Amino acid sequence: MSEEYSETRVIEFSDCDENRRLKIPAMIAMILQTSEHQLAQANIDADHLVRQGRGWVVTQYHFELTKSPRPGQRVIIKTLASGYNRFFTYRDFKICDENSNVLVKAMSRWVLFDLQKRTMIPTDMSLMTPLEVPLMKRLPHFAKIRRLPSYQQERQYRVRYDDIDTNHHLTNSHYFSWLIDLYDRDFLRDHVPATIDVQFDKEVLYGEAPVAYLTLTDGIAKQAIISIDGREHAVCQIAWRQV
């Protein structure tokens, strides 16, 4: 069984929105930075893989948010490489307060990616050994999210140079900037996410201009990011609760 890795950090004002709640994109960036630090200790981080023409790509997240961290709050971010099979690897995250109360927990599914061919490749067992990641017989269950035939709202975005990462595509935290931007300001003042499920289907590259979509019914949001020629990049479902 692999070991849990943790880091302590203070939530900055720049990490939070006008309501003093941790922004979703900032939360994603924090947990990924923590996992990257664990991988760096084992010499299997992004820099190591990029030199080999490979990279880690997340395909799905499930988040459960109990309480939003606040500016100035000290939190412990924990991560665990929970398992792998032939094509997928799995990683869990927690954000806890100083009393070990879980504020946010998440599970994620990843694939290894050939940066030149832009295709998924099988799991490299040598990358699993340094962290003692176990082979999984039963895979974690993720929600099946399906694209709707039509949506209530839409807005087009363009991938800027600052939006891409070392895998040369839109960084996955930035998807959430587009998805959250579709909501009314008043709604975001009075609501916080309870659960988030997102599935990434096709990468978005520099200069592309996909459309983000939203349908919101009784606090359940169905969302998608789709190219103008109909290719599905991501689908998302968020259950909101009123503050």
pLDDT of residue 1: 64
Task: Render pLDDT for 127-153 as a digit per residue (tens, 0 to 9).
Answer: 999 999 999 988 899 999 999 999 999
Q: Which CATH superfamily is domain 1-142 in?
A: Hotdog Thioesterase (3.10.129.10)
Question: What pLDDT was estimated at residue 240?
Answer: 98
Digit-coded pLDDT (tens) for 207-216: 999 999 999 9
For residue 199, give the nearest of 217, 222, 182 by alpha carbon. 222
Answer yes or no: is pLDDT of 241 > 80: yes
> What integer is the mean pLDDT of 84-112?
97
* Nearest by Cα to 108 from 182, 28, 39, 46: 28
Give the residue-averaged pLDDT of 73-80: 98
Domain covering 143-243 in this structure, CATH number: 3.10.129.10
pTM for the complete prediction?
A: 0.95
Closest-CA residue to 32 (of 106, 123, 131, 141):
106
Taking CB atoms within 8 Å and a gap of at least 24, the contacts of 21-24 are 21/68, 21/69, 21/70, 21/192, 22/68, 22/69, 22/70, 23/180, 24/176, 24/180, 24/193, 24/196
Give span(s): CATH 3.10.129.10, the chain.
Answer: 1-142, 143-243
Query: For residues 228 and 123, what is the distance between their CA atoms, to the nearest angstrom?
Result: 32
